[in-house]
């Protein structure tokens, strides 16, 4: 008969075996998910189609977008004393390929004062760029890159057909981030907030235009460039773009002359008010009031006087001062035009030879303008 000393190990062995058998093989418990998934969810068919079309359009446009990197030499105080070398300052902007020969459109302020320009393509290739032409009034520049093959060109559309409320995409490289797309609508087609621009309507959009977007394309849903992003409101809520039809007008001069020859009359002008109409014996308040005539300029030489009201040029009626600015600016320098006006309540006509605009020395004080945060200081 077994003793109690022999029974103890047996009981312990049996207990361990029972415990192991009950526990089974060890396995870790997976943590409980703290989110919810819906793998079968999908947008409405109409929205899904729009999403796909928008994504496909952005993908198709990106190869024509470029990143413009600029280096400028900036002198410090010690540099001014001749005690140290100039410190290079770098900035970036955007642009797009407008011609397969290597022509890139961007903003004038992006490349202003550049010591060197590098243009980076969407596929990562880098090329040295040189300014072919630039115009500060509209803030447009044309840059050439040499030796590039297989370039993707973005087509220019008709900005006159663009309607307020249409969807647009703004492409660019804001904050140094590459190949970004923002989506919005055309908010307004109207005057830029600066009198330096010669009377042309700019495109206002709520598609985000941030620092670095300058020079990038504003594109309609057909994949056509309808504007060149140029300025943004100081709070970043709205942006402004140069209309593509104005770009078409300027590019030939930038490519062949390196600048734009704007027409010039040499008058200070204002809108005709009801008080002006009564004082000047006008049947109605329309036309452009000549406040002053600059000595020696085309208007004075042609016989235009203060308090004349210009109502037409070469038969084209004028309603506002911007109409006159736009018409005169786009008239070739040296062309003789017929100026129809009202003087002392009587119709009259004089002939004026359009002169050349000579730059900022003739510019009136500008109104507050949208910011160009990526412009050189």
The CA distances from residue 276 to 115, 238, 354, 363, in Å, are 51, 35, 27, 25
Per-residue tokens: 28? 């870790």
Residue of 67, 94, 139, 244 with catalytic role: 139
Spatial distance between the Cα atoms of 316 and 275, rounded to a whole number of angstroms: 25
Clarify whether 173 is annotated catalytic.
no
Give the pairing type, strands 116-120 and 65-74. antiparallel
Residue of 187, 214, 244, 329 with catalytic role: 214
Residue of 91, 94, 109, 134 with catalytic role: 109
DSSP code of residue 259: S
Spatial distance between the Cα atoms of 340 and 299, rounded to a whole number of angstroms: 13
C-beta separation of 90 from 68 below 8 A = no
**Phi and psi at residue 363, to the nearest 5°:** -80, 135
Please give the torsion angle defined by the CA atoms of residues 9, 10, 15 and 17, in that order, rounded to the nearest 10 degrees: 110
Clarify whether 344 is annotated catalytic.
no
Burial class (CB in 10 A: 0-12, 13-18, 19+), 307: middle
Residue 230's nearest CA partner among 249, 247, 248 is 247
Name beta bridge partners: 242.
228
The sign of the torsion formed by the CA atoms of 260, 265, 267, 270 equals negative
Please give the torsion angle defined by the CA atoms of residues 183, 187, 191 and 193, in that order, rounded to the nearest 10 degrees: -70
The CA distances from residue 56 to 42, 53, 94, 194, 215, in Å, are 18, 5, 21, 36, 22
Spatial distance between the Cα atoms of 306 and 37, rounded to a whole number of angstroms: 75
Burial class (CB in 10 A: 0-12, 13-18, 19+), 345: exposed
Clarify whether 214 is annotated catalytic.
yes
> Active-site residue numbers?
109, 139, 214
């Amino acid at each position: 008969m077994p003793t109690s000393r022999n029974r103890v190990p047996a009981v312990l062995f049996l207990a361990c075996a029972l415990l192991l058998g009950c526990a089974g093989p060890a396995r870790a418990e997976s943590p409980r998910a703290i989110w919810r998934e819906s793998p079968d969810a999908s947008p409405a068919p109409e929205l899904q189609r729009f999403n796909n079309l928008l994504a496909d359009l952005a993908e198709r446009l990106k190869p024509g977008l470029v990143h413009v990197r600029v280096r400028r030499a900036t002198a410090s105080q010690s540099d001014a004393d001749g005690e140290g070398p100039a410190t290079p300052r770098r900035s970036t902007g955007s642009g797009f390929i407008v011609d397969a020969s290597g022509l890139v459109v961007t903003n004038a302020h992006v490349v202003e004062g550049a010591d060197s320009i590098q243009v980076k393509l969407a596929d990562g290739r880098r090329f040295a760029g040189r300014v072919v032409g630039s115009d500060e009034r509209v803030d447009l520049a044309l840059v050439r890159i040499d030796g590039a093959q297989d370039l993707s060109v973005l087509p220019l559309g008709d900005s006159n057909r663009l309607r307020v409320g249409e969807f647009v995409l703004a492409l660019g490289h804001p904050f140094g981030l590459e190949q970004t797309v923002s989506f919005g609508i055309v908010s307004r087609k109207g005057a830029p907030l600066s009198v330096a621009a010669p009377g042309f309507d700019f495109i206002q959009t709520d598609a985000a235009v941030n620092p670095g977007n300058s020079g990038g394309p504003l594109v309609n849903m057909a994949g056509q460039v309808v504007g060149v992003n140029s300025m943004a409101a100081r709070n970043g809520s709205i942006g402004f773009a140069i209309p593509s039809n104005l770009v078409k007008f300027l590019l030939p001069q930038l490519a062949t002359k390196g600048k734009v020859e704007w027409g010039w009359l040499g008058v200070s002008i204002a809108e005709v008010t009801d008080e002006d109409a009564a004082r000047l014996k006008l049947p109605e308040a329309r036309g452009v009031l000549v406040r002053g005539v600059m000595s020696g300029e085309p208007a004075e030489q042609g016989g235009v006087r203060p308090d004349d009201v210009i109502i037409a040029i070469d038969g084209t009626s004028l309603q506002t001062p911007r109409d006159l600015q736009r018409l005169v600016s786009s008239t070739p320098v040296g062309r003789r035009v017929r100026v129809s006006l009202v003087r002392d309540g009587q119709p009259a006509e004089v002939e004026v030879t359009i002169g050349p605009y000579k730059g900022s020395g003739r510019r009136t004080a500008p109104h507050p303008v949208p910011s160009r945060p990526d412009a050189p200081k």
